[in-house]
Structure 1
Amino acid sequence: MTVGGTSTTVGSGPHDPFGEAGGPDELEALEHDLPGAVTAALADYLHGRRPGAVEVGEEFADATDDLTRFVLDGGKRLRPTFAWWGWRAAGGRDDPSAVLRAVSALELIQGCALVHDDLIDDSATRRGSPTVHTRWTRRHTDAAWAGDPARFGAAVAILLGDIALAWSDDMLHESGVDPAALARARPVWQAMRTEVLGGQFLDIRGHAASDSSPETALRISRYKTAAYTVERPLHLGAALAGADDATVRALRRYGTDLGIAFQLRDDVLGVFGDPTVTGKPAGDDLREGKLTLLVALSRAHPDRETAAVVERAVGNPDLDADGVAAARDALVALGVVDDVERRIADLTASALAAIAEAPELAAPAPDRLADLAVAATRRAR
Structure 2
Amino acid sequence: MTSTVSPVDRHGLRARVDKALTAFLAHQRTRMHDIDDALRDVTAALEAFVLRGGKRLRPAFGYWGYRGAGGIDSDAVVTGLSALELVQASALIHDDLIDRSDTRRGEPSVHRRFAARHRAAGWHGDPDDFGASAAILLGDLCLAWSDEMLHGAGLDPEVLARARGAFDEMRTEVMAGQYLDVLAQSDGDTSAERAAKIAIYKSAKYTVERPLLLGAALAGAAAPVLAAYSAYGLPLGEAFQLRDDVLGVFGDPAQTGKPAGDDLREGKRTFLIAAALREAGPADRDALLAGLGDPALDPAGVDRLRAIITQTGALARAEERITALTGTALAALTTVPLDPEAHDTLTALAAAATRRTI
TM-score normalised by structure 1 residue count = 0.92
**2:8 equivalent in structure 1:** 18
Q: 1:366 aligns with which of 330, 343, 348?
A: 343
Give the secondary structure class of the aligned counterpart of 1:146. coil
Partners of 1:287 and 1:302 lie apart in 2 by 19
Partners of 2:271 and 2:286 lie apart in 1 by 16
Give the secondary structure class of the aligned counterpart of 1:364. helix
Is 1:64–1:160's contact at 8 Å kept on the other side of the alignment?
no
Q: Deviations over 1:263-292 (max 9, x none)?
A: 000000000000111110000000011111
**Deviation for aligned residue 1:323:** 1.1
| Mapping 1:48-59, distance limit 5 Å | 48-59=27-38
Give the secondary structure class of the aligned counterpart of 1:296. helix
Partners of 2:22 and 2:161 lie apart in 1 by 26
Is 2:213–2:226's contact at 8 Å kept on the other side of the alignment?
yes
**Pairwise CA RMSD:** 1.2
| Mapping 1:165-176, distance limit 5 Å | 165-176=143-154
Structure 1 counterpart of 2:174, one-letter code: V
**Deviation for aligned residue 1:61:** 3.0
**1:46 equivalent in structure 2:** 25
Q: 2:123 aligns with which of 132, 145, 150?
A: 145
Is 2:94–2:135's contact at 8 Å kept on the other side of the alignment?
yes
| Mapping 1:43-82, distance limit 5 Å | 43-82=22-61
Q: Give the total of aligned pairs.
A: 358
Is 1:278–1:380's contact at 8 Å kept on the other side of the alignment?
no
Q: Deviations over 1:161-211 (max 9, x none)?
A: 111011100000000011111000001111001000000011111221111
Q: Deviations over 1:138-176 (max 9, x none)?
A: 111111110111110000001111110111000000000
Q: Which runs of 5+ in 2 are unaligned?
A: none
TM-score normalised by structure 2 residue count = 0.98
Partners of 2:330 and 2:252 lie apart in 1 by 28
Q: Which runs of 5+ in 1 are unaligned?
A: 1-10, 21-30
Q: Which runs of 4+ in 1 moved over 3 A?
A: none
Task: Label 1:264 to 1:252 Cα distance change in 2 as closer, same or farther (>3 A).
Answer: same
Q: 1:335 aligns with which of 309, 313, 319?
A: 313
Structure 2 counterpart of 1:218, one-letter code: A
| Greater fraction of residues in helix | 2
**Deviation for aligned residue 1:380:** 6.1
| Mapping 1:174-213, distance limit 5 Å | 174-213=152-191
Is 1:116–1:161's contact at 8 Å kept on the other side of the alignment?
yes
Partners of 2:57 and 2:79 lie apart in 1 by 15
Partners of 1:266 and 1:380 lie apart in 2 by 12
Could you tell which deviates more after superposition, 200-209 or 369-378? Answer: 200-209
Partners of 1:252 and 1:228 lie apart in 2 by 12
Structure 2 counterpart of 1:77, one-letter code: R
**2:16 equivalent in structure 1:** 37
| Mapping 1:1-381, distance limit 5 Å | 12-20=2-10, 31=11, 33-94=12-73, 96-358=74-336, 360-379=337-356
